[in-house]
Structures are given as C-alpha cells and as structure tokens.
A and B are shown apart, each in its own frame.
Chain A
Amino acid sequence: NAGVMQNPRHLVRRRGQEARLRCSPMKGHSHVYWYRQLPEEGLKFMVYLQKENIIDESGMPKERFSAEFPKEGPSILRIQQVVRGDSAAYFCASSPAGTSEGSSYNEQFFGPGTRLTVL
C-alpha cells in the first residue's frame, strides 16, 4: 500500500512565477491536509479538503494561495506570483473518513514533502 505521494520533491521558481504542488493521498483516504514548514520551525496548518470540498482553509494566506481536491486526480496546492518568503517545505497528509473516537481516522499520514525554493 503506497503511502502519501507528493511531487515534485523539489521545485525551483523565480519570483512572480506560479508553483503547483501535487499530492496523492493513501489508498482509501478521502481527506487531505496541507501544511507548510519554514526552516527550523514546526509545521503550520494551511488547508483541509475532502473530495471537491474545502472544509477548513483557516491557515491559508488570503492572496495567491489556493487548493483543490478534485473528484479524480491528486490534490493541488497552487501558489501564484511566488515571493522569496514562500520558500519552504510543503507537506501533504491524508486520513481516512470516520467518526469513531480512537479510530485510525485521527492519525494523519504525511508525504515526503515538496521543497520550494524561490529565487
């Protein structure tokens, strides 16, 4: 059972370009989360999506950032007009659906991350 897949693993963009980061959740998982990790810091929540729905985007910057999780295909985190401050590692995580306390839905399984460098 493949884990969470992210691509590309490394992405270099010049200021003003667009960055597209892809995430394929674990098989059977329908919930996707995006986190950002700045150098020497912890992970900060950005957005939580289910298929075709954004559930919680409280951590997303108001401008230039968007996310989607279409019915078919991977989840996409899109950053328009990148700036140097966007340089970070972006991690995707997934979890299964479920509501029972103690069930495995509580854990989030993380991908290897995409390291974005903005020149």
Chain B
Amino acid sequence: AQSVAQPEDQVNVAEGNPLTVKCTYSVSGNPYLFWYVQYPNRGLQFLLKYITGDNLVKGSYGFEAEFNKSQTSFHLKKPSALVSDSALYFCAVRDTGRRALTFGSGTRLQVQP
C-alpha cells in the first residue's frame, strides 16, 4: 500500500524568506512523486514531479523539490517566498503499476508580508 505524510498542518513564513513544506512517502515499488497547490474554491494545480533522474526537481512558480530515497522524503522548497504563494499544498505519490494518486493531508502555507 502507498501512503504520504505531511507532518505540518500549517507553515508560516515571512515574505522573502526561504520556505520548506515537508513530505514523506511509503510505496512498495519505485515512487512517482508530485506536488500540487490548491487555492480557495479551486481545483489542484500541478507544480512539479519526480519520476526518475536528478534528485532535485524544478517546477512552476520558482518551486523545487528534493527527492531523498534513503529518507523517503520529497520536500517542497522555494528560495524566496511571496505572499501570493499562500495556499494549500498537497504531496502525492503513485506506485508503479497503479495510476491512482495517494495524497497527503495537505499543508497550509501562510506567507506574511
């Protein structure tokens, strides 16, 4: 069975500071990992993915994530936060052989001006 944990319900950061949103996963095979962002009353927008290759993945809006196989983590990062980054962030995993995504419970990012 596949699972995802996002240990922080909320992350607060000041504008201009770096941000990290944590994610750990569990799969039986090779993981396919994703980050999505959700704005109020909207659907999910794809940010980035790790399938294979370089452990550092760059995505939309200046976000990046680092895949760490030994720690089974896929933390989302951004060097300089913007107020407009405030939203709900979801980490998701897909095991090889399945198409269904398993999502974490979400982390609310609040960027203060």
> B interface vs A, CB < 8 Å?
32, 34, 36, 41-46, 49, 51-53, 90, 94, 98-106
Q: Which of A44, A58, A112 contacts B42 (CB 8 A)?
A: A112
> A interface vs B, CB < 8 Å?
4, 31, 33, 35, 41-45, 48, 55-56, 58-59, 91, 93, 95, 101-102, 106-113, 115
Judged by DSSP, the binding face of B is: loop
Which of A4, A91, A93, A108 counts the most chain B CB atoms within 10 A? A108
Whether the pair B43, A55 counts as a contact (CB closer than 8 A) is: no
Whether the pair A45, B43 counts as a contact (CB closer than 8 A) is: no
Cα distance A109–B46 in the bound complex, in angstroms: 7
Cα distance A35–B104 in the bound complex, in angstroms: 13
Cα distance A58–B90 in the bound complex, in angstroms: 21
Whether the pair A112, B43 counts as a contact (CB closer than 8 A) is: yes
Cα distance A65–B98 in the bound complex, in angstroms: 21
